[in-house]
Structure 1
């Protein structure tokens, strides 16, 4: 029987053919392999005497750190059985043993439980050894060292497997007994822990791989990142990670729209990009391929790990002279500290730029800014605006709008409101501009449209004309459709299935027939982009609560559809209260004349009511309000212009 790391008794096992092949290939790859494996395939004698290297050290260096992840077999505890679980007789194959020797199911369960206990004892001993090494030699505090060792299970497993391989190959020599870090009453445990420490030191990463795994990186990624931060000491690396997370990822808010904005930025990018944007696109692709996709950008813990994994040199940036001034610059431009991470995650290479360089890039947009906070709002929406390729295209877009005779205030407002336009090629913009031109929307009219709804410029022409066809099928001609574009361009940037058809269905459910739909939409096209649940339904419900029937409301909407856009608190309540309590008129009056809600209460409704009341004149709401001032004065006062009497003092 072989006792592993106990050192009491050990026989060398005969390697399997597959193992021989693996070992032979390893000997070809590694020039410093131990003599024990060189014998499997003797190399030609070297021209110069090799340096004196411990066999154990060479073998330890040859064992890949990722071996724990590549093997599927479970590691067997290397501590002697007397220090873990009691020895148990091995189970014999049923056909080679008597019935009395076949282990029972209960004994099988006990054996499996004993193996698990032994493995946990082995892992616990290895964690203790690594914790001592991190604390006593690599400079971490006792608590930090314990925390790292407890949260690096794959690294611990790789160390245990490394000790196991060297045990099986009998490649240990006395060099591993040179560390005074471990003290134990059981010499076998101390021997195992010394071997673990020896292997950990031979890895050469000085604890960085274990630390990086402990913060959440997979072992393979931790290996790669550790090579990029090899110049940092372990305590320095730990402090830097803490500070970066505190500065950049201190907010507990989950940015659910971060992934959506990343997709939108990619969707509307149609120009050749520079290296920084290309690196960002690769970063997005890696995240999208993982569970949760780009939506995980909003998770602060996951996103920090993604950032470190793809841009490991982030951990080499000086905090005081680089990271903090960068954060302060963004804050000075109106970006809250908790949202600085949004810019970094949507455009990671920007964190490697100096503040002076970023300031120069921001100045490029000075001529389109309306106030000092515009640049912060634009950066949060579209941080790629700081890339070289986007800035070059921005100048081309300004020139394009100038050639199309779009007023500068309109084009500037469009870019401020939707900076994603800067990632769109002018050839693509021209297609949409020509499509609008077919509806007689040009020059100043074009300026009004893109200033109000710049997202329309990012539509595909075929999507735009699908909305045009929808309106034409409802009964509108091209000239009227062009007027609707000027009045409410958002309609033509909306989804037919998700938005427009939903609103048309709502109007029909109210009792608006197909014959009346054109009148309703023409008078209030905004109804097609109004929120059904938060805007339309609450207004309908309020009118029903005051005593109107659904049929009466449908009649009112057919006659005056802007009714659906008025505020309940600011329009409906005060005007109905004046109608019923002061004017003492029935609700039927607003059914017959719903336009009543369109007039100003203070400037028109009240003054005319007090004039008529003073003359003891009774008339309908339509007669009172539909006439202009001259017509009203001529009919009710027999004078050319209506005087405005003061309201009663009790009001």
Structure 2
């Protein structure tokens, strides 16, 4: 039966040795091992038998494995329920050990309970370390000592758990993080991030109570109870989308932070949510936990309020640009704000600009500001216009000059330069963020409707926001509405030329409600379409402020039929108090009847000459 072969059948003898030894672990002793391979006692079998059936050359060296295995079984749980109960008891004792450890380093009872219940990976690491250490000791200790020790523990029960708890406590203390590591994991950080950061903070002499206090304050200033969490995410998306300039280190870190939030389910809508964002905030900006609360963070919050950032909005500024907390107020922030005086920014404007675009405090944005102003000067845009555009829409400062120049050139092709360009950038500075192909698509769309370049140029000056809208989601929807009320394609050019703002009116919240109101008082859809063809701005008027009061005066006071307003829809464009009422009462006083067009279509001199025989009519005060 003996052989010097290195295999048993097709199985290497080393695998059999390892399998056999693993059965005996952790109660392994020299007597239970296979002889080394260079020993003269090499065993080969065609069938691998259980240890108690192994045949050996020397019966004195036969392993009494039945006895050992039976003893092991008596010490271990015989069913899964008991095993799970033992594991749960060990985990509970481990939590108690961590709680005591945290209390020793200054955490309150409530804090230590919360932390020890919220750091599962840290607990598992300690438990695994203790078990690994016990297993190692079992390999090196004499088997009789292990059996005696385990028998004592099994007989009493509690001492074993107490011993385990003590080992966990000593293991935690030996890590040297002073309770900071489990606290960081309880905040949501991964164990690897928490381990790295714990070493970073421990090296700066942070105590656990100080860190707990600091974290509470950071959460307070970054995540207030305001309801603008969705707005913060919307602003972040807009800032990322419109940014094309070079980014300094602070902006790169901020963009990286945004990308981590964006990668989660829910995206940047979660930016203002503490549970979703705090972990990534600390991982991206670990230095936040090094800043002193009283001497740095609180003065910064007071400063932001002093320059016009309302207390309820400071969290927007911080979340959209966390590096602001690392800046020195006098050395960094004040000089940068002073630099914006070139664009007419006053003290009360600084806070408003920071809420809209906190990145104005980054070095790269300040540098790009000079380039943007230089471009506007080259294009002969009035300084008042460029300054106002930047104050109202500071996102322009994050756009590369090359991108801005491409859009300015497209405007120039339509004859929009200097003063006209200034009017466009003041009215709709967002249009400068458009890509030239998107802008040209809208131009082509308007040309297809029958408008010529001269018309398009006037529309661009009057209502530039049209050119930043979606053709499918916005412009086509307005055309479908006009078609539904009877405005044919042949009438579209005239309607659009007279009132291009129709393209930016919301169909569901503005156009449809106004149409339904006019139909409710007795006008047909056909009447409304006819009125729109004659007077395009009709559906741009507010029901409560214009349509209702003027129609009530027409029908109740003037006693005129609705057909008159169908024939002359421009009636709605005149002031009720300054023109309609005075002329009506003057005509009534001389018993004169006339149509709406005759009453309102003339200027004051013509009206007076025709109806009261004087050269000038004095309008009575309202």
Change (3 A) 1:191 1:646: closer
Change (3 A) 1:478 1:646: closer
Q: Residue 261 of structure 1: CA displacement?
A: 2.5
The residue that corresponds to 1:603 in the other structure is: 578
The residue that corresponds to 2:479 in the other structure is: 504
2:109 counterpart (142, 146, 152): 142
Q: Residue 644 of structure 1: CA displacement?
A: 3.4
Report the structure number with the largest CA radius of gyration: 2
Q: Residue 578 of structure 1: CA displacement?
A: 1.1
1:410 counterpart (381, 385, 395): 385
Change (3 A) 1:128 1:477: same
Q: Residue 283 of structure 1: CA displacement?
A: 2.1
1:220-235 equivalences in 2 (<5 Å): 220-230=192-202, 231-235=205-209
1:44-83 equivalences in 2 (<5 Å): none
Change (3 A) 1:171 1:498: farther
1:431 counterpart (398, 406, 418): 406
Partner SS, residue 373 of structure 1 = helix
The residue that corresponds to 2:395 in the other structure is: 420
Q: CA RMSD in A?
A: 2.3
The reply to whether residue 339 of structure 1 matches residue 313 of structure 2 is yes
CA contact (8 A) 2:90 2:161 kept: no
Change (3 A) 1:13 1:311: farther
* Bigger helix share: 2
1:509-524 equivalences in 2 (<5 Å): 509-524=484-499
The reply to whether residue 284 of structure 1 matches residue 290 of structure 2 is no
- CA deviations 1:466-489 (Å, max 9, x no partner) are 111100100001011101111101
Q: Distance in 2 between matches of 1:473 and 1:558?
A: 19
CA contact (8 A) 2:297 2:325 kept: yes
CA contact (8 A) 2:26 2:139 kept: no
- CA deviations 1:545-570 (Å, max 9, x no partner) are 21211111111111112111111111
The reply to whether residue 390 of structure 1 matches residue 365 of structure 2 is yes
- CA deviations 1:178-207 (Å, max 9, x no partner) are xxxxxx992111100001001101111111
Q: Residue 10 of structure 1: CA displacement?
A: 6.1
Partner SS, residue 230 of structure 2 = coil
Change (3 A) 1:531 1:195: same
CA contact (8 A) 2:222 2:319 kept: no
- CA deviations 1:313-344 (Å, max 9, x no partner) are 11110001110111111111222233222222
Q: Residue 638 of structure 1: CA displacement?
A: 2.3
Q: Residue 282 of structure 1: CA displacement?
A: 2.2
Q: Which runs of 5+ in 2 are unaligned?
A: 1-24, 31-71, 142-155
Q: Which runs of 5+ in 1 are unaligned?
A: 1-8, 15-79, 90-110, 175-183
The reply to whether residue 316 of structure 1 matches residue 268 of structure 2 is no
- CA deviations 1:393-446 (Å, max 9, x no partner) are 101211211121111111111111111111122222121111111111111111
The residue that corresponds to 1:555 in the other structure is: 530
1:634 counterpart (589, 593, 609): 609
Q: Distance in 1 between matches of 2:121 and 2:270?
A: 24
Q: Distance in 2 between matches of 1:166 and 1:370?
A: 66
1:458 counterpart (433, 448, 451): 433
The residue that corresponds to 1:115 in the other structure is: 83
CA contact (8 A) 2:242 2:398 kept: yes
Q: Distance in 2 between matches of 1:173 and 1:418?
A: 73
1:134-213 equivalences in 2 (<5 Å): 134-135=102-103, 137-170=104-137, 186-213=158-185
TM-score (norm 1): 0.79
